[in-house]
Amino acid sequence: MRIACLIVVCAALLACGPTPQPAPTDPTLEPASASTLPPSIAPVAARKDHALTAHGHTRNDPYYWLRDREDEEVLAYVRAENAFKDAALAHTAALQQTLFDEITGRIKQDDSSVPYLLDGSMFYKRFVQGGEYPIFARRPGDMQGAEQILVDGNARAEGKDYFAAQEPKLSSDGVIAAWAEDHVGRRIYTIFFRDLVTGELLPDRLDKVTGNMAWATDGKTLLYARQDGETLRSHQIYRHTLGTDPATDPLVFEETEDTFSAYVWRTKDKRFLVIGSFQTVSAEMRILDASTPDGDWAVFSPRERNHEYSIAHKGDHWYIRTNRDGATNFKLMRAPDGATDSWEEVIPHRPDTFLEEFDVFADHLVLTERSEGLPRLRVRRWDGSDDYYVPFADPTYAANVGTNPSLDSATLRFDYTSPTTPQSVFDYDMNTHVVELRKEQPVLGGFDKSHYTAERLWATASDGTAVPISLVYRADLGPKSGRPTVLYGYGSYGLSMDATFNSARLSLLDRGFVWAIAHIRGGEEMGRPWYDDGKLLKKKNTFTDFIACGEHLVDQGWADPERLYAMGGSAGGLLVGAVLNMAAELWDGAIAQVPFVDVITTMLDDTIPLTTSEYDEWGNPNDKEAYDYMLSYSPYDNVEARAYPALLVTSGLHDSQVQYWEPTKWVARLRARRTNDATLLLHTNMDAGHGGKSGRFARYHEVALEYAFLLDQAGLVVKGLK
């Protein structure tokens, strides 16, 4: 679901340690109304017994009532928690401002992306001084002509508390731009259209959609996806013709299986439209000639349980990434047009190499692979005369295929970053093997990458499995210096947490922190088996791996045993909650960002967004074995009468992925059951969703809040390296 130049801060400003909080309130007593409590006193949520029964087992959830975001009593409690958080961290207010100024001061305000060529125009986005949102624009292919603004995010966001816009998609003739906007943060979009000849907005407007869309060849037909109004599952594909009433748009496809979601796109060669239905362990594609958008769709390969595949088209063949026939780490096949059931092998399955993605060019095939936990980019001529890997030197890094919309190009654009290397864009000539750095993201404020060192370590999990760790620290501190350390993790959905650069993180590193990433099971860093060993009835491997990584950092002298901090968001917040229950004594504190912590109750409620589509990730608790296993680690259900480390929990009132009430209920239960008075804070963004505040700079207020919490908890009273 789920800086090199040091600035000394006045010691009096930061001398305060974590703010003591009152002893836990007796949960049997009725608390005062949250809205009447002074901000310096922790609010205590009212207990209202609510029985939840499944498989003959009954749980009492006294905070179930917090689920109604329209209830004023609920909102009063959430606001009281925000007020208490503000009061508890008031002594760090100046530090938060300093951190915010540092972080945003490293960002080049009048910046722009590297343009890419498509259909004779160069497309890019740029930012203006003081602007929070991107301006999407294009110029002629030689970049010498006048700029045409497609969407001005700053103008569109004016007067809105939240704003997010997707990059516009242009019709085949380049005349009409379509783009999607979200004004709440719940990922419910509206699609707008602009005539690029006149500059005028068209009256066509598609409300309550996902933002997923694809143009047909005719320049007037747009395929788009709608979501279920309650669960937000993307399940319907509609067809809109410009100039017609959207209310009459025909339904092209509906995904009726509630564990699948449906999306639409156009192939790179522009010849076909594709509707893809996806589930955790299965996929099914439908294809249609893009010149006949009202034609009949053909199923490419019927869905089968445990068969995942993706497709691309070039020339007279389809290319298929598939795990069929025991290809756990996937292989690449191809099939001729008109015979999509006749597959032949292009790249075989390899047990030690995970085929993550592929991209097709006229003369080359590009594969994104993983081996020993690191991504690799493999370039291969279709005739087999050249086959090689793009070289990377850092011990830990992230690399991926970038924006390559032109099939006929011999240039591969790829993105590269490491913990010491800012996000960089390269163009790689696949014929000559010459690489050109097009842009390294500027980092203002005197940044020097030589001031930082990245390492890659291996921890040993409780079952003997070797788990990789990436970390970065100030080079002048030296290795194994026993510094305060943040251990970040995720470990779900097969998403790999590669080691990337983050300019905001410099504010922690320059104050002496070590930043580490645990590449735990549940991701795909080590291939598909790494994912399979961290989900369903093996989910606890994710948590024990993370604990083993924390213990390794302490045992090997990297982390100060008294100042080790866990951090994760969404499903990574579930990870944080679980490891606090399993090994509370290991951590001095933790930050759980929009955490998925009420696992059982959420997964039993099929009206909540994402629930049914994630049965193959977490399990279906309607099955008793899955229920019992999920119940054994669900953070909310396993809060005990014990001491817990300091904790900052963040939430978004309009979150569509992890409902705000999960972190809210978790904090309420922790307040009632814990036996100590360590800092416990809940920060709820009342105007945003899963990703927090919108805006290029505004979102760093929340980062500054989190960093101030960590620095305060670690007792670092001066911005120095002691």
Do 291 and 432 lie in one domain? The reply is yes
Question: How far is it, in rounded angstroms, from Cα 189 to Cα 16?
Answer: 44
Residues 6+ apart with CB under 8 A from 339: none
pLDDT tens per residue, range 159-173? 988 888 999 999 999
Q: Are residues 530 and 425 in the same domain?
A: no
CA angle 4, 8, 10 (to 5 degrees): 155
Which pLDDT score is estimated for 654? Answer: 84
Spatial strand order in the sheet of 398-401:
398-401, 411-418, 421-429, 435-440
CATH of the domain at 669: 3.40.50.1820
User: Smallest Cα–Cα separation from 271: which of 291, 285, 253, 252?
Assistant: 291
pLDDT of residue 33: 42
Whole domain around residue 355: which residue ranges? 198-440
Instruction: Check whether residue 378 and residue 462 sit in a common domain.
Output: no
Q: Which residues are within 8 A (CB) of 514 and not within 5 positions of it... i.e. 6 or more apart?
A: 471, 472, 473, 483, 484, 485, 486, 553, 558, 559
Question: Could you say which of 397, 415, 440 is where a domain stops?
Answer: 440
The answer to whether position 473 is within a domain reads: yes
What angle separates helix 571-582 from helix 540-555, to the nearest 10 degrees? 70
| 11 pLDDT tier (thresholds 50, 70, 90) | very low
Phi, psi of 67 (to 5 degrees): -80, -10
Q: Do 625 and 476 belong together in one domain?
A: yes
CB 319 within 8 A of CB 360: yes
- pLDDT of the residue at 16: 31
Q: How confident is the model at residue 12 (pLDDT cuts 50, 70, 90)?
A: very low
**Residue 318 placed within a domain:** yes
Residue 448 domain-assigned?
Answer: no
CATH of the domain at 409: 2.130.10.120
Q: Is residue 500 part of a domain?
A: yes
Over residues 430-435, the mean pLDDT reads: 96
In a domain, residue 177? The reply is no
- DSSP letter for each residue of 159-225: T-SS-EEPPPEE-TTS-EEEEEEESSSSS-EEEEEEETTT-PEEEEEEEEE-S-EEE-TTSSEEEEE
- CA-to-CA distance for 488 and 518, rounded, in angstroms? 6
Q: Of 440, 472, 503, which residue is a domain's last?
A: 440
Same domain? 433 vs 468: no
Least confident of 38-47, 175-184, 401-410: 38-47
Residues 387 and 244 in one domain: yes
pTM for the model: 0.88
Give the count of domains, the chain: 2
- Tens of pLDDT, residue by residue over 159-209, are 988 888 999 999 999 999 999 999 887 789 999 999 999 999 999 999 999
1 — pLDDT class (breaks 50, 70, 90) = very low
pLDDT tens sequence across 354-363 = 999 999 999 9
Interatomic CA distance for residues 590 and 546, integer angstroms: 13
What are the CB-based long-range contacts (under 8 Å, 24+) for 144-153?
Answer: 148/196, 150/177, 150/179, 150/194, 150/196, 151/177, 151/179, 151/194
Does the pLDDT of residue 19 top 80, yes or no? no
Q: What pLDDT, in 10s, does the model give residues 655-697? A: 777 899 999 999 999 999 999 999 999 999 987 655 555 566 8
Q: Is residue 129 part of a domain?
A: no
- What was the pLDDT predicted at 689? 58
Q: What value does the CA radius of gyration of the chain take, rounded to a whole number of Å?
A: 26
Neighbours of 572 (CB within 10 A): 28
> Which range (26-40, 409-423, 478-492) has the least confidence?
26-40
- Do residues 642 and 672 share a domain? yes
Residue 663 phi/psi, 5° resolution?
A: -65, -30
Percent residues over pLDDT 70 in the chain: 93
The encoded tokens of residue 341 equal 């059931």
> Does some domain include residue 293?
yes
Is 285 among the domain residues? Answer: yes
Averaged confidence pLDDT in the chain? 91
- Contact present, 324 and 341 (Cβ < 8 Å): no
Task: Read off the pLDDT of residues 280-304 as tens digits, 9 standing for 90 and up.
Answer: 999 999 999 999 999 999 999 999 9
279 and 418 housed in the same domain: yes
Strand stretches in 536-622, DSSP E:
559-569, 589-593
Provide the pairing of β-strand 317-322 with 309-314.
antiparallel
Is residue 36 scored above 90 in pLDDT?
Answer: no
Tell me: the pLDDT tens digits for 136-161? Answer: 999 998 889 999 999 999 999 999 88
Task: Please identify every residue annotated as catalytic.
Answer: 570, 655, 690
Are the CB atoms for 178 and 192 separated by under 8 Å?
yes
Element (H, E) at 554: helix 540-555
The answer to whether residues 59 and 207 belong to one domain is no
Instruction: Indicate the pLDDT class of residue 231, thresholds 50, 70 and 90.
Output: confident
Examine the domain organization and report whether 489 and 626 are in the same domain: yes
Sorting pLDDT into bands at 50, 70 and 90, what band is 449?
very high
Show which of 391, 418, 440 is a domain's final residue.
Answer: 440
What digits encode the pLDDT tens for the residues 43-78?
999 999 999 999 999 999 999 999 998 999 999 999
User: Does residue 431 share a domain with residue 578?
Assistant: no
Same domain, yes or no: 406 and 546: no
